[in-house]
Amino acid sequence: MQSVSRRQFLKKSGEAGLAACATSALGRMGFAQSAAPTRVVIDSSRQISAIDPHVYGSFLEHLGRAIYEGVYDPQSKFADANGFRTDVMAEVKQLGVPIIRYPGGNFVSGYHWLNGVGPKKDRPTVLDRAWDTLETNQFGTNEFITWAREVGAEPLFGLNFGTGTAEDAAALVEYCNVARGTKWSELRRSHGYEQPHNVKYWCVGNEMDGPWQIGHIPAREYGLKAADAARQMRAVDPTVKLVACGSSGPFMPTYIEWDRTVLEECYDDVDGISLHRYWGNTEETNHDSQIYMAMNLAMDRQIEEIIAVTDSVRAQKRSGKQLFLSFDEWNVWYRARSGDDVDGHGKSAPHLLEEQYNLEDALLVGGLANSLMRHADRVKLACLAQLVNVIAPIMTNENGVLRQTIYYPYAWALKYAHGTALSLAPEGPGYEVASLGRPIESIGLPVPGFGEVPWLDVTAVWNEEKKAATLFVLNRDLHNEREMEIVWRDLTPSAVTTFETMTGPDLKAINTFADPKRVVPQTLEKPKTGSTMTVKLPARSYSVLSMTV
């Protein structure tokens, strides 16, 4: 077992700073009374960047019921010949998830990939020390690749940087990507996988800054190991794309310092750096949903801070190369994150991290998707954490699947946010969030507020191929419908193809297997098209408005 869990570590480190933080915990929050519309000017030539489809990836960890029961369940009435749940595969396929991170997460830092390949009868059952769970290894590298290809997703492989060596990492690349004629490629072929898997994207470890992580090491040491592993991996396959482990989040005492030190050692050898973050309506927001609706601005801030440190190392090195950001764990997660929710007690497929998502969580997830879109120039990869049963949009029981509330904003991003993110400068009223309280994972450092927060958070995507423009709008105002005036500069829409919203009277409403359609998208009356359009956004809503020109 780990000597210190993530939660214990944060609790301990937080005690010192807590008193200081408490005095400035919640700042003044005033509400601008203006009912004036928000004005958005759209000009298709004002482009941020093409949105990389990998930005709407997801994540599957050997954790709780994500893999076992969720994805792989030979006993299920839905199982195919491989033991994969066909109902879950159909959902994931329909969503069109482009890339899926696997096999962890904290799990990966104690995972021996060799235990999960070869004849199933010979695979050992081991204790996963990250989540205190029995791991049967009946699902491993080859099963994941087979499953991912069937659902149309690309694999993003996590590497064990806890108990694993740089040589182990290179061996896994060889097992997956070399065609034939070497020890590890021949092993794959002997396992029945004649063709190489060609795995392009790799995470060089997971949250190695965290004392809760198996094999946690200081930044300099990790940076050196990452550089060495990257060179060994590229010697095996020069085409791989490698993501170094960035900070686990701004709550870490080593935030930014970790990223800087790591990149000083491995900047030249990697292609991207990771960011992680989970949000919640907690003490940080004073359990105030109005403040909670502004929390995607914390994602904007984190992205901009990591861009700043990454580019400062680049300047220091006079490097011609720019790294991309991989926000490869992001979601709401604050309820199921202590006690039995994170401890498997040595059982197989226990119920862990089974967060139930409500309407307000879905609205924030929509806002977070907006934040990723408006940073399309640097965030080229991201993963909603996670996909099935564990902090997930999709839940399963023996009779089928359930779409949680957060499924819908995620599905809209996957369906409509293809093309180029446009640069917008919405003008409109807002409200004040002067400071925030103590984050759930805080070490007691004060957290700045956001100042004036716009009622409407708007992003726009232009799809040149389809001649379609799509707007994604979070109306943060919990009490009032808000109006948006859209002024088109160089295009005039001829038809509104979609206008849907997630809203409802109860911010805490959830979907359950007994009542699965309580929080689902509703169709809104389509606005009249023209060079200036007026649109009404319901109170407490996240909406998608798509038009063709």
Chain residues that interact with ligand AHR, rule: CB under 6 A: 6, 61, 104-106, 206-207, 329, 385-386
Pairing of strands 495-502, 522-523: antiparallel
Residue 466 C-beta: closest distance to ligand AHR, Å: 34
Residue 115 C-beta: closest distance to ligand AHR, Å: 18
Identify which of residues 207 and 500 has a Cβ nearer to ligand AHR in the complex.
207
CB 503 within 8 A of CB 521: no
Phi, psi of 127 (to 5 degrees): -95, 120
Q: What is the rounded distance in angstroms from the CA atom of residue 507 to the CA atom of residue 439? A: 21
Identify which of residues 140 and 426 has a Cβ nearer to ligand AHR in the complex.
140
* DSSP assignment of 20-85: HHHHTSS----B----PPEEEEE-TT-EEEEPPGGGGEEE--SSTTTTBTTTB-TTSTTB-TTSBB
Rounded to whole angstroms, what are the CA distances from 535 to 408, 492, 518, 532?
21, 15, 25, 10
Identity of the residue numbered 548: T
Residue 541 C-beta: closest distance to ligand AHR, Å: 28
Determine how many CB atoms are found less than 10 A away from the CB of residue 548: 15
Residue 383 C-beta: closest distance to ligand AHR, Å: 9
Tokens of 434: 């002067």
Identify which of residues 61 and 135 has a Cβ nearer to ligand AHR in the complex.
61
Identify which of residues 280 and 538 has a Cβ nearer to ligand AHR in the complex.
280
Identify which of residues 226 and 460 has a Cβ nearer to ligand AHR in the complex.
226
Q: What is the rounded distance in angstroms from the CA atom of residue 382 to the CA atom of residue 49? A: 16
Identify which of residues 2 and 44 has a Cβ nearer to ligand AHR in the complex.
2
Residue 135 C-beta: closest distance to ligand AHR, Å: 14
Residue 105 C-beta: closest distance to ligand AHR, Å: 3
Phi, psi of 213 (to 5 degrees): -85, 135
CB-nearest residue to ligand AHR: 105
CB 363 within 8 A of CB 332: no
Size (the chain), residues: 549
Identify which of residues 365 and 535 has a Cβ nearer to ligand AHR in the complex.
365
Instruction: Read off the DSSP letter of residue 267.
Output: G
| Torsional class of 518: left (φ above 0), alpha (ψ -120 to 50), beta (otherwise) | alpha
Among 60, 154, 49, 52, smallest CA distance to 384 is for 60
CB 544 within 8 A of CB 522: no
Tokens of 508: 């805490």
Spatial neighbors of 273 by CB under 8 A, at least 6 apart, are 243, 244, 245, 246, 259, 262, 263, 306, 310, 323, 325, 326
* Measured distance between the N- and C-terminal CA atoms of the chain, rounded to whole angstroms: 59
Q: What is the rounded distance in angstroms from the CA atom of residue 548 to the CA atom of residue 23? A: 52
Phi, psi of 411 (to 5 degrees): -65, -35
Identify which of residues 108 and 411 has a Cβ nearer to ligand AHR in the complex.
108
Identify which of residues 227 and 332 has a Cβ nearer to ligand AHR in the complex.
332
Residue 6 C-beta: closest distance to ligand AHR, Å: 6
Residue 206 C-beta: closest distance to ligand AHR, Å: 5
Tokens of 164: 């694993």
Residues annotated catalytic, as ranges: 207, 329
Question: Residues 428, 429, 435, CA angle at the centre, nearest 5°?
Answer: 125
Q: What is the rounded distance in angstroms from the CA atom of residue 171 to the CA atom of residue 181? A: 14
Helix H or strand E encompassing 474? strand 468-475
Residue 395 C-beta: closest distance to ligand AHR, Å: 16
Identify which of residues 208 and 433 has a Cβ nearer to ligand AHR in the complex.
208
Identify which of residues 7 and 466 has a Cβ nearer to ligand AHR in the complex.
7
Helix residue ranges, H only, 237-336: 257-266, 289-292, 296-317
Residue 146 C-beta: closest distance to ligand AHR, Å: 23
Residue 63 C-beta: closest distance to ligand AHR, Å: 6
Among 151, 256, 248, 212, smallest CA distance to 7 is for 212
